[in-house]
């Protein structure tokens, strides 16, 4: 049984950075974890999400449910109703990538959702099965965090596992676990706005370096209740998006 974890923060279509980060993973000794949000905003959302699925199916990687995967599935299920919200969160980048079209191509919600369903049934089924959290005893993994206002974190509303922010960041961690999460870029968590420095407070560790916002992609090795090593890849490409 693997006792170490290699945990990668929000990728958001930065497939080149993802593949570079994966070169640091030791498959023999480390459980690979993708913290969710592999899609939307980046230059190659299709390659990112298909790579994530491949590693999950072929190498037993854990791929967490992120809010962007949830928005994608909501669009697929209700294209007319959910497309405006998905578009505000740059979901058109993933739609166009999956359909092999240039970025900026206008989206026809109903037609494009049907085309994606016809072309990617395996991917859609896979994304529907992503876990909201993984409990490893003294380690808890969730895309956004958990509701620490509750007596029992297990009672967290499903959407909070992938959407919660301040109630988790500012809450008191009485879970007895270290909670590793992504979702909120480090620029917004660290008082000095440093995206290269992990946010660590009260047994909570934020690792979303905001790669797609011109920040960095972080990967950490977790072993024996602590961070053993941190890998960081800076995004040196022009920034296309500036907020979360």
Predicted pLDDT at 238? 72
- Which residues contact residue 202 at a Cβ distance below 8 angstroms, ignoring those fewer than 6 apart? 172, 173
Cβ atoms of 67 and 96 within 8 Å: the answer is: no
Element (H, E) at 85: helix 79-88
User: Stretch 138-159: mean pLDDT, rounded?
Assistant: 98
Contact in structure between 139 and 180 (CB atoms under 8 Å): yes
Q: What is the pLDDT confidence band of residue 1, given thresholds at 50, 70 and 90?
A: low
> What's the whole-number mean pLDDT along residues 185-207?
97
Instruction: Calculate what percentage of the chain has a pLDDT beyond 70.
Output: 97
Quick one: pLDDT at residue 2?
Answer: 75
Residue 241: pLDDT band by 50, 70, 90 thresholds? Answer: low
For 153-193, the pLDDT digits (tens) are 999 999 999 999 999 999 999 999 999 999 999 999 999 99
Q: What distance in Å separates the CA atoms of residue 156 and residue 140, rounded to the nearest whole number?
A: 13
Asked if the model's pLDDT at residue 130 lies above 90, the reply is yes
Condensed to tens digits (0 to 9), the pLDDT of residues 58-86 reads 999 999 999 999 999 999 999 999 999 99
Is the pLDDT confidence value at 242 over 60?
no
Q: How confident is the model at residue 237 (pLDDT cuts 50, 70, 90)?
A: confident
CA distance 108 to 21: 35
CA nearest 12: which of 197, 217, 194, 233? 217
Cβ(126)–Cβ(58) below 8 Å: no
Mean pLDDT of the chain: 97
Closest CA to 5 of 233, 184, 178, 209: 178
Q: How many CB atoms lie within 10 A of CB 129?
A: 9
pLDDT for the residue 240: 66
Domains and CATH numbers, the chain: 4-65+132-234 (3.60.21.10)
Sheet bearing 216-223, strands edge to edge: 62-63, 30-34, 4-8, 216-223, 226-234
Q: List, in sequence order, every beta strand (DSSP E) within 106-183.
A: 133-135, 139-142, 178-181
pLDDT of residue 244: 43
For the cut 50, the answer to whether the pLDDT of residue 8 exceeds it is yes
Tokens of 233: 């890849």
- Whether the pLDDT of residue 146 is over 50: the answer is yes
């Amino acid at each position: 049984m693997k006792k170490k974890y290699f945990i990668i923060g929000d990728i958001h279509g930065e497939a080149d950075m993802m593949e570079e980060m994966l070169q640091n993973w030791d498959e023999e000794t480390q459980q690979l974890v993708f913290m969710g949000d592999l899609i939307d905003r980046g230059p190659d959302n299709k390659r990112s999400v298909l790579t994530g699925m491949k590693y999950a199916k072929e190498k037993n990687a854990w791929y967490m449910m992120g809010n962007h995967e949830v928005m994608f599935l909501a669009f697929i299920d209700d294209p007319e109703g959910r497309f405006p919200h998905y578009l505000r969160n740059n979901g058109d980048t993933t739609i166009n990538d999956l359909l092999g079209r240039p970025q900026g191509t206008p989206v026809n919600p109903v037609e494009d959702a049907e085309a994606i369903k016809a072309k990617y049934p395996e991917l859609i089924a896979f994304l529907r099965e992503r876990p909201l959290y993984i409990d490893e005893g003294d380690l808890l993994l969730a895309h956004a965090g958990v509701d620490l206002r509750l007596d029992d974190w297990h009672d967290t509303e499903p959407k909070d596992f992938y959407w919660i922010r301040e109630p988790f960041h500012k809450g008191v961690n009485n879970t007895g676990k270290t909670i590793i999460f992504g979702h909120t870029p480090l620029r917004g968590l660290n008082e000095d706005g440093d995206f290269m420095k992990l946010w660590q407070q009260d047994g909570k560790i934020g690792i979303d370096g905001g790669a797609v916002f011109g920040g960095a992609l972080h990967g950490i090795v977790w072993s024996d209740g602590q961070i053993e090593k941190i890998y960081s890849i800076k995004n040196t490409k022009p920034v296309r998006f500036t907020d979360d």
